[in-house]
Structure 1
Amino acid sequence: MTTSTTPWLRELLSEPGRRDPYPLYARLHALGPAVALPPGSRHAAIVHGYEAVGQVLRDPDFRVLDAEYLDRTSTRWRAHPAVRTMQDSVFHASGENLARTRRLFGQVFSATKAAALEPMIDRIAGGLVDRLAALGADGVPVDFMAEFALRLPSDVIGELLGIPEPDRAGFPRRVRDFDAILEVGQRSFRELRAADAAAEELTAYFAGLLAARRAHPADDLISALADGGLPEPVLLANLIVVFNAGFRTTANLLGNGLRLLLAHPDARTKLGADPALAPAYVEEILRFDPPVHFAIRFAAEDTDVAGISVPRGRSVLVLTGAANRDPTRFPDPDRFDPGRTDNHHYAFSAGPHYCLGAALGRAEGKLALPRLLSRFPSLTLAVEPSPRRHFMLRGYDRLEVLLVR
């Protein structure tokens, strides 16, 4: 089938839409919880209302874009290591494959485990805050993303998996290149080639580390999973994806959160004075400016959502970022309000593919943000950051800050 981009999708993927999608989300909400797209469109519908998004994410009739779905149009995706890696991972798994992978990894990323890891997280955050203080002495601008937001979750997930500290510096570039395939819309050939190269490098690295742990086990996740029953390509794909997601989403939570707090000085002052408020602040940051704005699902059977028929085999674009601003669910949704109650958002998705690392990301956010604000009460932006242009892994490339004035 020839697919086209509808006016709604064109506007979403335009430069203004990528910079600030929220006005478009508000217009979509005025039309109801979902909009049908014309025949021949890439998707059958856009789903953006809170209840409708929850239905799609939880309904077994809607599935992730697995190998069966991709093979219906072409098998050329199998020639791309980046796409194969994603298809072998928990990100696109379904049925028993999904359940088995979540059982193996879930024990490490449970809320109980995340709470037990808080001393480690706090120790790493403390060291990075000291590093920031040294780098920003005498009013020198510091890139918060490079020197803190990426380093904290990278070191936390690195320690969990067992990635040696000297190896971690090489991951951000590879991960950024690999993650480009996740973005909504078409990828350029150049982006796909870079993603494939990154996938091959990451696979080779984790294969070497896995072999080393099989020969000499350590107290880490890779050693624990080395003989856990997953086929090696599947295990390697999941190690890559879990590591990538384990620090890119949390890095953007920290960067987006800091930018929001600097724009809301009253909220920032309250959090700096009372770290106990941090869990509620993290939830509102995730609702108001989440690191992930969309998901795609396809109908395994003829079904419907919000009164719109979705034929078997057709996909829907699920705007979780819009659902988090649904005025029928969140009063005054475009206001940043850390005092909200009943703040159940979709920043971590829902249903079978609810984010494995949600509890860990929350723990990192609630420990890091108050520590930063209390250590650097005069922290300000050095320059306005460049606009964000991604919907998947939405965050700042750089966030230049001044720690002292």
Structure 2
Amino acid sequence: MSTTWLGELLSEDGRRDPYPVYARLHEHGPVVGLPHGSKHAAIVHGHAAVGRVLRDPDFHVLDAEYLDRGSTRWRAHPAVRTMQHSLFNDSGDHLARTRRVFGQAFGSTRVSALEPMITRITDHLLDRLADAGGAPVDFMTRFALRLPSDVIGEVLGVPERDRAAFPDRVRTFDAILELGQRSLRELRAADTAAEELTSYFAGLVAARRAAPEDDLISVLAASDALSEPVLLANLVVVFNAGFRTTANLLGNGLHLLLTHPDALDALRADPATASSCVEEVLRFDPPVHFAIRYATKDTEVEGVEVPRGRTVLILTAAANRDPSRFADPDRFDPSRTDNHHYAFSAGPHFCVGAALGRAEGRIALSRLVARFPFPALAAPPGPRHHFMLRGHDRLEVRFR
């Protein structure tokens, strides 16, 4: 059976709905070893095992040191170089330095101060939904992508007039993160998107050095804490992640509420439950489903050997449905307590924007339901095919 797990996940049915595969994996314990010659040494999916590997210093992200062991050809690809310079794939002292720089901007205290701005943008976008007069609108385009894009845009200092150009480039760039093989065509398109995004932020950094404004890019441009390539790479990745993952949180969350009327009724009756609702959305249908780590020495996970240099596929979304950790894990229950999920990862690569994403989700869902007490799906959403950034491309909703 172990030879088919990756094939099942990457099949059309697995991409459409991976949760049945996750459930079968749990029947085989917290970790399954894969045969020699497989892309990964093991799949880690149990809640405790996932937490251990994500925090284990003997397991690293696929950093430059790892990639260079196979070939240095990756250095010719701007998209891959951008990821390697960023928080996503950096490690050690470089990672710690970058996290300190961006952590100050996205910590809980700073995010609390941003809540009036998030509320203002949310209410403006809700006004735009009301303009449709109850006709079907695509929630993803009209709200879910716009809110986090405008929020992270204001934090960084990306002018509003420029934000509409980002979604297509970001989707193209993010394709290199997907589970499974990527085509040369996809890689070349991602390289082009990376060059365009890097060029844009280079121009914005130069402009802020010449004329600083009250935004994060002005602060970073005046600092020498990060080298220019690292600064630009992290601006690209932080902006991308700042709206793609939160957009999926909002879309996944609204779809769950619309298909679980009791949960929608509970949130409508008590907006203060929005925080627990967001945590359950993150557990039940997270925007990101997996991570990959490699072993820096011969080791094991729950008795499964992982030789030095081999990778493990970490299914964080499967860990969020582990029946040994969560009662009735396949039930969407916003009243769930002790909801310790891995939607934001754990360890050195815990999401630096977690507090901001949670705040946006809480404010947006509570105010949306207060403004439109009886939203309804206008059409079934299309199938989803991605694991790294899992969300709806379209979500047609009537807001009444």
TM range (shorter): over 0.9
8 Å contact kept, 1:104–1:228? no
Are 1:108 and 2:108 counterparts?
no
Moved more, 83-92 or 189-198: 189-198
Structure 1 segment 215-254 matched on structure 2, within 5 A: 215-226=210-221, 227-254=223-250
C-alpha contact 1:293 1:321 (8 A) present in aligned 2: yes
Name the counterpart of 1:56.
53
Q: Superposed, which structure 2 residues align to 1:200-349 within 5 Å?
A: 200-226=195-221, 227-349=223-345
Q: Secondary structure at the match of 2:70?
A: coil
SS of the residue 1:154 aligns to: helix
CA distance in 2: counterparts of 1:242 and 1:228, whole angstroms: 19
Q: Name stretches of at least 5 consecutive residues in structure 2 with no aligned partner.
A: none
Runs ≥4 in structure 1, deviation > 2 angstroms? none
1:385 match: 381
The aligned counterpart of 2:129 is 132
Matched, 1:394 2:394: no
- Cα distance in structure 2, aligned partners of 1:211 and 1:273: 49
Aligned residue for 1:10, secondary structure, equals helix
Shift of 1:387: 0.6
Distance 1:394 1:140 in 2: 26
Matches within 5 A, 1:19-168: 19-134=16-131, 136-137=132-133, 139-168=134-163
Q: Deviations over 1:339-368 (max 9, x none)?
A: 111001000000000000000000000000
CA distance in 2, matches of 1:270, 1:229: 47
1: CA distance, partners of 2:110 / 2:278 = 19
Residue among 345, 355, 358 paired with 2:354: 358
Secondary structure class of the residue paired with 1:72 = helix
> In structure 1, what is the Cα distance between the partners aligned to 2:349 and 2:295?
16
Q: Structure 2: which amino acid aligns with 1:284?
A: E
User: Which of the residues 160, 166, 175 maps onto 1:171?
Assistant: 166
Q: Distance in 1 between matches of 2:394 and 2:73?
A: 35
Deviation (angstroms), 1:275? 1.0
Partners of 1:43 and 1:316 within 8 A in 2: yes
Question: What is the one-letter code of the residue matched to 2:102?
Answer: F
* Deviation sequence 1:137-191 (CA, Å, 0-9, x none): 1x32111000100000000000000000000000000111101111111011221
What amino acid is aligned across from residue 61 of structure 1 in structure 2?
A: D
Corresponding residue for residue 191 of structure 2: 196
Listed one character per residue, the Cα deviations across residues 223-264 of structure 1 (whole Å, up to 9, x for unaligned) are: 111123211011000000000000000000000000000011
| Unpaired stretches in structure 1, ≥5 consecutive residues | none
Distance 1:373 1:22 in 2: 28
Q: Could you tell me which amino acid in structure 2 is paired with residue 88 of structure 1?
A: H
- Is 1:125–1:152's contact at 8 Å kept on the other side of the alignment? yes
Considering only aligned residues, what root-mean-square deviation do their CA atoms show, in Å?
0.9
Rounded to whole Å, the distance in 1 between the matches of 2:320 and 2:142 is 30
Q: Secondary structure at the match of 1:309?
A: strand
Name the stretch that deviates more: 252-261 or 190-199. Answer: 190-199
CA–CA distance in structure 1, aligned partners of residues 370 and 137 of structure 2: 17
Q: 2:182 aligns with which of 187, 205, 217?
A: 187
State the SS of the aligned residue for 1:43: coil
SS of structure 1 residue aligned to 2:289:
coil
Paired residues, number: 398
State the distance in 2 between where 1:92 and 1:69 align.
10
Partner of 2:21, secondary structure, is helix
- Secondary structure, counterpart of 1:158 in structure 2: helix
Q: Distance in 1 between matches of 2:145 and 2:224?
A: 29
Q: Secondary structure at the match of 1:166?
A: helix
